[in-house]
Each structure stands twice: as structure tokens, then as C-alpha cells.
Amino acid sequence: MTVLQALPAFEDNYIWCYRGREGGSIVVDPGDAGPVLAAMADGLRIEAIFITHHHNDHIGGLNALRAASTGPVFGPADDRIPGIDRIARDGDVLQVPGFRPFRVLAVPGHTRSHIAYTDSDVLFCGDTLFSLGCGRLFEGTPEQMLASLDRLAALPDETLVCCTHEYTLSNARFAAAAEPENPARDRLLADIQVRRRQGIPSLPSRIGIEKACNPFLRTDHPERLGGLKQHLGSMPESRLARFAALRAWKDQFR
């Protein structure tokens, strides 16, 4: 049996702890060691640490956790990430005791070396895919990010999407502006509003939910993106152009 736990950190980060059949856990993107060390005091045992990219809110707690745990640290080939024990490259299959094998996916766009990890039941995607959104293009191009999102969207619909920020409600405002009529998204939003009022995370999402509700995964449906057409004055002809326009609009959306 595997169990997911989202440890809150900073203002809106989640550090994912994925407990396996033998009781050990995979910890994902520990930007702050404090919540993980507190969980370790309550019995959490780290079997491995997965890093998706180099931003400090994803790696800031790594040194402290390395001192407190013997589990290996997997991460991308990027000199900006200190403390990686095992480089994880696109297509690699990672074996962690007590877990199904994890496949590594290169998903550049947010950063040039961003990777994701999936066992097909669960996806740890860092800042590439968010619930109802996607990451900013700090180092990559729209082409790269669209290709990365396509890779994630090709996973089974039931795959749990474990991204690392609680952005869902703010993303929902943009999603409604881009695609004004989407009953599935509206039902999702109503459920998430209840959960957030109760202090429950909006995550994880699922791939199937994102394909039905996330405008960045719906650029092959230009007829649905009426808000984008109104924003631009016309609808871009290509899927890539529509994605790039959505991302640029989202960057300045308030």
C-alpha cells in the first residue's frame, strides 16, 4: 500500500512524501527541511529524495536532509543542484525499495533541466504542470513547454498529478477567462473551494481532470478558447501559437 502526504512549506509549496509498501518514503522537492524533519521525528523514514529542478524552494532543505538520512538523492544533471547522488536522465528507470519502478521524463520549459518522475499511478511534476495551469517559462521556450505538457498528458487519465504549489484557485480565475464555458472545470472549482475553506489541499489532481479543465492542455480545441480570441482580437492558427499566447497572457493576468 502506498500513501501520499503533502507537507506544506513556505506560503504555497508542498513537499510530497510518498510512503511505500515497506514503510519507507520518497520525499520530493524538499525546499525546506523543517517539515520533513518534523515528519521524521514522527516516524518518517526516507528511502530516497527526488529533485525536479534547481529552484531554491525545491532544494533548499536538501543539505539538512542529507545529514539526517541515508537515502540517495536523485535529480537532473545540473550544476546548480548540490548534493545529487544519482543523476536521473530522460528514460531512466529508478528502483526504490518498496515502490514500483519510476520512469524519468525530461520536461524542459520552466527550467532547461527540469525532470518529472512517474510510476503511472503518481506523477511528481515539480513546476511543469499545475492544476489548471503550467509553469512560467524561465529558461525554456513555448515549443519545449508544450512538448513537455504533451508528454505528461499522454500518461493514464487516473495518474495522480502531484505538483508543488497550491495555485489552483488563482489558476482557476485565468482558466475561466481563457475558456468561459467549461462545466467540468466549474464543478471542479466548486469542490476545490470547499476543500480549501476546510484547509484541505486542492492536490493531487489527475491527468484526466487536467485534460478536461486546464486550458494549457486544451490548445487543440480553439473553439473552446473564446476568451483567448477576445483577448487577442483573433484566434492564432497553430496550436503552438495558441499555447504561447495563453502563457504570455497568463504572465500578466491579474
Catalytic residue among 29, 32, 58, 114: 58
DSSP-derived pairing of the beta strands 24-28 and 13-19: antiparallel
Q: Residue 127 catalytic? A: yes
Catalytic residue among 29, 32, 57, 119: 57
Catalytic residue among 29, 32, 54, 110: 110
**Could you tell me the three cell numbers for 105?**
521524463
Residue that the C-alpha cell 477576445 belongs to: 230
Measured distance CA(76)–CA(236) in Å, rounded? 34
Q: Residue 231 catalytic? A: no
**Could you tell me the three cell numbers for 80?**
546548480
Q: Residue 114 catalytic? A: no
Catalytic residue among 29, 54, 114, 165: 165
Catalytic residue among 29, 54, 55, 114: 55
- Alpha helix ranges (H) inside the chain: 33-41, 56-59, 62-68, 142-153, 168-178, 183-197, 207-213, 226-232, 239-251
Catalytic residue among 53, 54, 114, 119: 53
Measured distance CA(149)–CA(23) in Å, rounded? 32
- Closest CA relative to residue 46, chosen from 19, 63, 71: 71
Residue that the C-alpha cell 467549461 belongs to: 182
Q: Which residues are catalytic, by number?
A: 53, 55, 57-58, 110, 127, 165
